[in-house]
Homo-oligomer: A and B are copies of this chain.
Amino acid sequence: MKSMRYLGMRHHSHQYWLNIMNQSAYKELANDNYNQGPLVAALENRVAHLLDKPKAMLFNKGTTCQLAALKTICQASKNNRVILHAKSHIAFDEQDAYQALMGLEGVILGTEAAPFTARDLKSIKHKAAVLTVELPLRRVGFKLTAWEELLKMRQWCDEHQVHFHMDGARLWESTHFYQRSLAEIAALFDSAYVSLYKGIGGISGALLVGSETFIAQCSVWRDRLGSNMYSTFPALITGLEGIDKNLPKIPSWVDRAQEINTLLNSIEAIKVNQADTNGFQLHVKGNKTQLNQQLNQLQQQYNLVLCKPFENMDNQDLLYTEIQVGAEHEKISNEEILAFFNQLFS
Protein backbone atom coordinates (compact mmCIF):
# COMPACT_ATOMS: atom_id res chain seq x y z
CA MET A 1 0.00 0.00 0.00
CA LYS A 2 1.33 3.43 -0.91
CA SER A 3 1.56 5.77 2.06
CA MET A 4 -0.67 8.82 2.30
CA ARG A 5 0.77 12.17 1.23
CA TYR A 6 -0.27 15.39 2.97
CA LEU A 7 -0.26 18.89 1.49
CA GLY A 8 -0.43 20.53 4.93
CA MET A 9 0.28 19.68 8.55
CA ARG A 10 0.00 15.98 9.30
CA HIS A 11 0.12 13.55 12.18
CA HIS A 12 3.53 11.93 12.36
CA SER A 13 4.34 8.51 13.77
CA HIS A 14 6.03 8.38 17.16
CA GLN A 15 9.09 6.99 15.41
CA TYR A 16 9.25 10.12 13.24
CA TRP A 17 9.45 12.31 16.35
CA LEU A 18 11.85 9.95 18.10
CA ASN A 19 14.16 10.00 15.08
CA ILE A 20 14.29 13.80 15.17
CA MET A 21 15.21 13.71 18.86
CA ASN A 22 17.61 10.76 18.53
CA GLN A 23 19.54 12.63 15.84
CA SER A 24 19.40 16.10 17.39
CA ALA A 25 22.52 17.76 18.78
CA TYR A 26 20.23 19.59 21.22
CA LYS A 27 19.71 16.37 23.19
CA GLU A 28 23.24 16.78 24.57
CA LEU A 29 22.19 19.90 26.51
CA ALA A 30 21.29 19.35 30.18
CA ASN A 31 17.75 18.68 31.42
CA ASP A 32 15.07 21.29 31.64
CA ASN A 33 13.25 21.39 34.96
CA TYR A 34 10.22 23.58 35.69
CA ASN A 35 11.02 26.00 32.85
CA GLN A 36 14.71 26.28 33.74
CA GLY A 37 17.85 24.92 32.10
CA PRO A 38 19.97 25.42 28.97
CA LEU A 39 17.42 23.97 26.52
CA VAL A 40 14.79 26.44 27.70
CA ALA A 41 17.32 29.28 27.59
CA ALA A 42 18.39 28.30 24.06
CA LEU A 43 14.81 28.38 22.82
CA GLU A 44 13.88 31.59 24.63
CA ASN A 45 17.01 33.38 23.42
CA ARG A 46 16.48 32.15 19.89
CA VAL A 47 12.91 33.45 19.71
CA ALA A 48 13.69 36.73 21.48
CA HIS A 49 16.45 37.28 18.93
CA LEU A 50 14.25 36.36 15.93
CA LEU A 51 11.55 38.79 17.04
CA ASP A 52 14.08 41.30 18.39
CA LYS A 53 12.34 41.65 21.75
CA PRO A 54 14.13 41.99 25.11
CA LYS A 55 12.74 38.76 26.52
CA ALA A 56 10.96 35.54 25.53
CA MET A 57 9.29 33.10 27.92
CA LEU A 58 8.34 29.48 27.33
CA PHE A 59 4.75 28.26 27.78
CA ASN A 60 3.26 24.80 27.33
CA LYS A 61 0.61 26.13 24.97
CA GLY A 62 -0.76 29.18 23.20
CA THR A 63 -3.88 29.21 25.35
CA THR A 64 -2.03 29.56 28.66
CA CYS A 65 0.50 31.90 27.05
CA GLN A 66 -2.10 34.44 25.96
CA LEU A 67 -4.31 34.07 29.03
CA ALA A 68 -1.31 34.88 31.22
CA ALA A 69 -0.38 37.82 28.98
CA LEU A 70 -3.89 39.32 28.88
CA LYS A 71 -4.41 38.91 32.63
CA THR A 72 -1.07 40.55 33.39
CA ILE A 73 -1.83 43.50 31.13
CA CYS A 74 -5.30 43.94 32.61
CA GLN A 75 -4.07 43.71 36.19
CA ALA A 76 -1.37 46.31 35.55
CA SER A 77 -3.85 48.74 34.02
CA LYS A 78 -6.69 47.92 36.45
CA ASN A 79 -8.98 47.44 33.47
CA ASN A 80 -10.43 44.07 32.44
CA ARG A 81 -11.44 44.92 28.88
CA VAL A 82 -9.65 43.16 26.01
CA ILE A 83 -10.38 43.95 22.36
CA LEU A 84 -10.74 40.76 20.32
CA HIS A 85 -11.95 39.70 16.90
CA ALA A 86 -15.17 37.66 17.10
CA LYS A 87 -13.46 34.78 15.27
CA SER A 88 -10.10 35.00 17.04
CA HIS A 89 -8.74 31.90 18.76
CA ILE A 90 -9.10 33.57 22.15
CA ALA A 91 -12.75 34.53 21.61
CA PHE A 92 -13.81 31.50 19.58
CA ASP A 93 -11.67 28.43 20.31
CA GLU A 94 -10.85 28.41 24.02
CA GLN A 95 -14.18 27.68 25.75
CA ASP A 96 -14.37 31.33 26.81
CA ALA A 97 -11.43 30.84 29.17
CA TYR A 98 -10.53 34.53 29.02
CA GLN A 99 -13.89 35.29 30.63
CA ALA A 100 -14.78 32.17 32.65
CA LEU A 101 -11.29 31.52 33.99
CA MET A 102 -9.47 34.86 33.91
CA GLY A 103 -12.43 37.14 34.67
CA LEU A 104 -11.73 39.38 31.68
CA GLU A 105 -14.31 41.13 29.52
CA GLY A 106 -14.30 40.99 25.72
CA VAL A 107 -14.79 44.01 23.50
CA ILE A 108 -15.69 42.10 20.36
CA LEU A 109 -15.07 43.52 16.88
CA GLY A 110 -15.10 42.17 13.31
CA THR A 111 -17.11 39.82 11.15
CA GLU A 112 -16.56 36.30 9.94
CA ALA A 113 -15.46 37.67 6.59
CA ALA A 114 -12.42 39.74 7.51
CA PRO A 115 -10.08 41.08 10.19
CA PHE A 116 -11.23 44.33 11.77
CA THR A 117 -9.67 47.63 10.70
CA ALA A 118 -8.40 50.69 12.56
CA ARG A 119 -11.68 52.39 11.69
CA ASP A 120 -13.59 49.72 13.68
CA LEU A 121 -11.79 50.87 16.83
CA LYS A 122 -13.80 54.10 16.73
CA SER A 123 -16.91 52.18 17.81
CA ILE A 124 -15.33 51.33 21.18
CA LYS A 125 -17.10 53.20 23.96
CA HIS A 126 -15.12 52.26 27.10
CA LYS A 127 -11.35 52.32 27.39
CA ALA A 128 -9.81 48.85 27.04
CA ALA A 129 -6.52 47.57 28.45
CA VAL A 130 -5.34 45.70 25.38
CA LEU A 131 -5.92 45.40 21.64
CA THR A 132 -5.23 41.90 20.28
CA VAL A 133 -4.70 41.16 16.61
CA GLU A 134 -4.35 37.60 15.30
CA LEU A 135 -1.85 37.43 12.44
CA PRO A 136 -3.17 35.80 10.29
CA LEU A 137 -6.79 35.43 11.42
CA ARG A 138 -7.28 31.71 10.90
CA ARG A 139 -11.07 31.45 11.20
CA VAL A 140 -11.73 33.99 8.45
CA GLY A 141 -9.42 32.19 6.01
CA PHE A 142 -5.91 32.94 7.34
CA LYS A 143 -6.25 36.60 6.38
CA LEU A 144 -3.67 39.17 7.36
CA THR A 145 -4.38 42.72 8.48
CA ALA A 146 -2.94 45.24 6.01
CA TRP A 147 0.34 46.85 7.08
CA GLU A 148 -1.19 50.34 6.89
CA GLU A 149 -3.94 49.20 9.25
CA LEU A 150 -1.40 47.83 11.71
CA LEU A 151 0.42 51.18 11.68
CA LYS A 152 -2.84 52.99 12.41
CA MET A 153 -3.66 50.57 15.22
CA ARG A 154 -0.22 51.13 16.75
CA GLN A 155 -0.89 54.85 16.64
CA TRP A 156 -4.35 54.37 18.15
CA CYS A 157 -2.84 52.30 20.98
CA ASP A 158 -0.25 55.01 21.66
CA GLU A 159 -2.90 57.71 21.71
CA HIS A 160 -5.19 55.74 23.99
CA GLN A 161 -2.50 54.09 26.13
CA VAL A 162 -3.65 50.63 25.15
CA HIS A 163 -1.28 47.62 25.06
CA PHE A 164 -0.93 46.17 21.54
CA HIS A 165 -0.68 42.35 21.61
CA MET A 166 -0.15 39.99 18.67
CA ASP A 167 -1.55 36.48 18.50
CA GLY A 168 1.23 35.28 16.23
CA ALA A 169 0.38 31.56 16.21
CA ARG A 170 1.12 31.76 12.47
CA LEU A 171 3.44 34.77 12.44
CA TRP A 172 6.16 32.58 10.89
CA GLU A 173 3.89 32.26 7.85
CA SER A 174 3.26 36.03 7.59
CA THR A 175 6.62 37.60 6.68
CA HIS A 176 6.19 36.80 2.98
CA PHE A 177 2.95 38.83 2.71
CA TYR A 178 4.38 41.89 4.43
CA GLN A 179 7.82 41.47 2.84
CA ARG A 180 9.18 42.34 6.27
CA SER A 181 11.17 40.42 8.84
CA LEU A 182 9.69 38.85 11.97
CA ALA A 183 11.39 41.61 13.95
CA GLU A 184 9.93 44.40 11.81
CA ILE A 185 6.42 43.03 12.30
CA ALA A 186 6.91 42.38 16.02
CA ALA A 187 8.25 45.93 16.46
CA LEU A 188 4.70 47.27 16.06
CA PHE A 189 3.51 45.31 19.09
CA ASP A 190 4.15 45.51 22.83
CA SER A 191 3.96 41.72 23.11
CA ALA A 192 3.47 38.68 20.91
CA TYR A 193 2.81 34.97 21.16
CA VAL A 194 4.34 32.51 18.69
CA SER A 195 3.80 28.76 18.37
CA LEU A 196 6.24 25.85 18.12
CA TYR A 197 4.02 23.38 16.37
CA LYS A 198 2.04 24.14 13.15
CA GLY A 199 4.60 25.65 10.75
CA ILE A 200 7.67 25.14 12.94
CA GLY A 201 6.72 21.49 13.27
CA GLY A 202 7.59 20.87 16.93
CA ILE A 203 5.49 18.62 19.16
CA SER A 204 3.93 21.44 21.18
CA GLY A 205 4.76 24.66 22.98
CA ALA A 206 4.59 28.43 22.73
CA LEU A 207 6.60 31.52 23.53
CA LEU A 208 5.61 34.96 24.75
CA VAL A 209 7.85 37.94 23.90
CA GLY A 210 7.88 41.44 25.34
CA SER A 211 9.71 43.74 27.71
CA GLU A 212 11.70 42.33 30.64
CA THR A 213 9.24 43.82 33.13
CA PHE A 214 6.17 42.52 31.34
CA ILE A 215 7.54 38.99 30.98
CA ALA A 216 8.56 38.91 34.65
CA GLN A 217 5.02 39.95 35.63
CA CYS A 218 3.53 37.11 33.56
CA SER A 219 5.50 34.46 35.41
CA VAL A 220 3.11 34.02 38.35
CA TRP A 221 0.20 33.46 35.96
CA ARG A 222 2.26 30.94 34.01
CA ASP A 223 2.64 28.93 37.22
CA ARG A 224 -1.01 29.27 38.15
CA LEU A 225 -2.04 28.01 34.72
CA GLY A 226 0.10 24.92 35.22
CA SER A 227 2.59 25.85 32.51
CA ASN A 228 5.59 24.68 34.51
CA MET A 229 6.28 21.07 33.71
CA TYR A 230 8.74 18.83 35.49
CA SER A 231 10.22 18.33 32.01
CA THR A 232 9.11 19.20 28.51
CA PHE A 233 12.28 18.36 26.59
CA PRO A 234 10.52 16.74 23.59
CA ALA A 235 8.77 20.06 22.86
CA LEU A 236 12.04 21.95 23.34
CA ILE A 237 14.24 19.74 21.15
CA THR A 238 11.70 19.41 18.32
CA GLY A 239 10.93 23.14 18.57
CA LEU A 240 14.59 24.09 18.17
CA GLU A 241 15.01 21.58 15.33
CA GLY A 242 11.92 23.04 13.65
CA ILE A 243 13.29 26.58 13.85
CA ASP A 244 16.52 25.34 12.26
CA LYS A 245 14.97 23.19 9.54
CA ASN A 246 11.44 24.44 8.79
CA LEU A 247 11.45 28.17 9.48
CA PRO A 248 13.68 29.02 6.47
CA LYS A 249 11.35 27.04 4.18
CA ILE A 250 8.06 28.61 5.24
CA PRO A 251 8.12 31.45 2.66
CA SER A 252 8.29 28.80 -0.08
CA TRP A 253 5.15 27.18 1.37
CA VAL A 254 3.38 30.54 1.00
CA ASP A 255 4.54 30.73 -2.63
CA ARG A 256 3.12 27.27 -3.21
CA ALA A 257 -0.16 28.13 -1.50
CA GLN A 258 -0.56 31.11 -3.82
CA GLU A 259 0.22 28.92 -6.83
CA ILE A 260 -2.44 26.41 -5.76
CA ASN A 261 -4.84 29.23 -4.99
CA THR A 262 -4.51 30.57 -8.55
CA LEU A 263 -4.93 27.06 -9.90
CA LEU A 264 -8.16 26.49 -8.00
CA ASN A 265 -9.54 29.84 -9.13
CA SER A 266 -9.97 28.21 -12.52
CA ILE A 267 -12.59 25.79 -11.17
CA GLU A 268 -16.05 27.25 -11.82
CA ALA A 269 -17.91 25.58 -8.95
CA ILE A 270 -15.77 26.95 -6.12
CA LYS A 271 -14.46 30.16 -4.62
CA VAL A 272 -11.17 30.54 -2.81
CA ASN A 273 -10.17 33.51 -0.70
CA GLN A 274 -6.82 35.15 -1.44
CA ALA A 275 -3.86 33.29 0.11
CA ASP A 276 -2.10 35.82 2.35
CA THR A 277 -0.14 33.03 4.02
CA ASN A 278 0.30 29.28 3.48
CA GLY A 279 -3.42 28.69 3.99
CA PHE A 280 -6.77 29.75 2.57
CA GLN A 281 -10.43 28.78 2.61
CA LEU A 282 -12.29 27.09 -0.24
CA HIS A 283 -16.05 27.71 -0.47
CA VAL A 284 -18.57 25.60 -2.36
CA LYS A 285 -22.28 24.85 -2.50
CA GLY A 286 -23.35 21.28 -1.89
CA ASN A 287 -24.43 18.56 0.49
CA LYS A 288 -21.91 18.22 3.32
CA THR A 289 -22.25 14.47 3.96
CA GLN A 290 -22.15 13.63 0.27
CA LEU A 291 -19.20 15.91 -0.46
CA ASN A 292 -17.17 14.53 2.46
CA GLN A 293 -17.87 10.98 1.28
CA GLN A 294 -16.52 11.87 -2.15
CA LEU A 295 -13.56 13.63 -0.55
CA ASN A 296 -12.76 10.52 1.44
CA GLN A 297 -12.96 8.29 -1.64
CA LEU A 298 -10.66 10.57 -3.62
CA GLN A 299 -8.16 10.67 -0.74
CA GLN A 300 -7.91 6.89 -0.90
CA GLN A 301 -7.76 6.86 -4.69
CA TYR A 302 -4.98 9.49 -4.92
CA ASN A 303 -3.24 8.64 -1.59
CA LEU A 304 -3.58 12.31 -0.96
CA VAL A 305 -4.91 14.58 1.80
CA LEU A 306 -5.31 18.13 0.48
CA CYS A 307 -7.81 19.59 2.93
CA LYS A 308 -9.94 18.92 5.99
CA PRO A 309 -13.53 17.63 5.78
CA PHE A 310 -16.02 20.30 4.70
CA GLU A 311 -17.98 22.25 7.31
CA ASN A 312 -21.01 24.54 7.12
CA MET A 313 -20.36 28.27 6.92
CA ASP A 314 -22.16 30.30 9.59
CA ASN A 315 -25.40 31.84 8.31
CA GLN A 316 -24.68 30.97 4.69
CA ASP A 317 -25.79 28.31 2.27
CA LEU A 318 -22.15 27.32 1.71
CA LEU A 319 -19.62 24.72 2.78
CA TYR A 320 -15.97 25.51 3.45
CA THR A 321 -12.69 23.76 4.01
CA GLU A 322 -9.16 24.92 4.78
CA ILE A 323 -6.23 24.25 2.47
CA GLN A 324 -2.77 24.61 3.98
CA VAL A 325 0.71 23.98 2.61
CA GLY A 326 3.34 22.36 4.82
CA ALA A 327 6.72 20.66 4.91
CA GLU A 328 5.82 17.76 2.60
CA HIS A 329 4.09 19.70 -0.18
CA GLU A 330 6.78 18.91 -2.76
CA LYS A 331 5.61 15.30 -2.90
CA ILE A 332 2.45 16.55 -4.62
CA SER A 333 2.23 18.08 -8.11
CA ASN A 334 -0.05 20.89 -9.24
CA GLU A 335 -1.49 18.54 -11.87
CA GLU A 336 -2.59 16.07 -9.20
CA ILE A 337 -4.15 18.80 -7.09
CA LEU A 338 -6.11 20.17 -10.03
CA ALA A 339 -7.22 16.70 -11.12
CA PHE A 340 -8.28 15.87 -7.55
CA PHE A 341 -10.46 18.95 -7.13
CA ASN A 342 -11.83 18.86 -10.68
CA GLN A 343 -13.01 15.34 -9.97
CA LEU A 344 -14.41 16.31 -6.55
CA PHE A 345 -16.42 19.23 -7.91
CA SER A 346 -17.41 17.74 -11.28
Report which A residues bind B (CB closer than 8 A).
11-15, 17-18, 21-22, 27-31, 33, 60-61, 63-64, 67, 94-97, 100-103, 197, 203-204, 220-221, 223-234, 237
Contacts and interface: CB of A to CB of B under 8 A. Distances in A.
A61 B232 CA distance: 12
B33 A223 contact: no
A223 B103 contact: no
6 contacts: A18-B22, A60-B60, A61-B226, A95-B223, A101-B102, A204-B230
Contacts of A224: 63, 94-97, 100-101
Nearest to A99: B224
Given A64-B225, A204-B232, A225-B226, 8 more contacts: A14-B233, A14-B237, A22-B22, A96-B224, A197-B230, A197-B231, A203-B233, A204-B231
A178 B163 CA distance: 55
Contacts of A61: 226, 228-229
Contacts of A29: 14
Q: How many copies of this chain does the complex contain?
A: 2
Sorted nearest first, the 6 A-B pairs with minimum C-beta distance are A97-B224, A64-B226, A63-B226, A14-B27, A234-B234, A61-B226
Contacts of A230: 197, 203-204
B223 A226 contact: no
A61 B61 CA distance: 13
Contact of A31 (B13, B31, B232, B234): B13
Contacts of A17: 233
Contacts of A63: 224, 226
A194 to B, nearest CB: 15
A171 to B, nearest CB: 17
A233 B13 CA distance: 10
A12 B31 contact: yes
B226 A227 contact: yes
B229 A60 contact: yes
Contacts of A100: 224
Contacts of A204: 229-232
A232 B205 CA distance: 11
Nearest to A39: B14
Contacts of A13: 31
Contact of A231 (B60, B101, B103, B203): B203
Contact of A11 (B33, B96, B226, B228): B33
Nearest to A231: B203
B21 A18 contact: yes
Nearest to A22: B18
A80 to B, nearest CB: 14
A224 B94 CA distance: 6
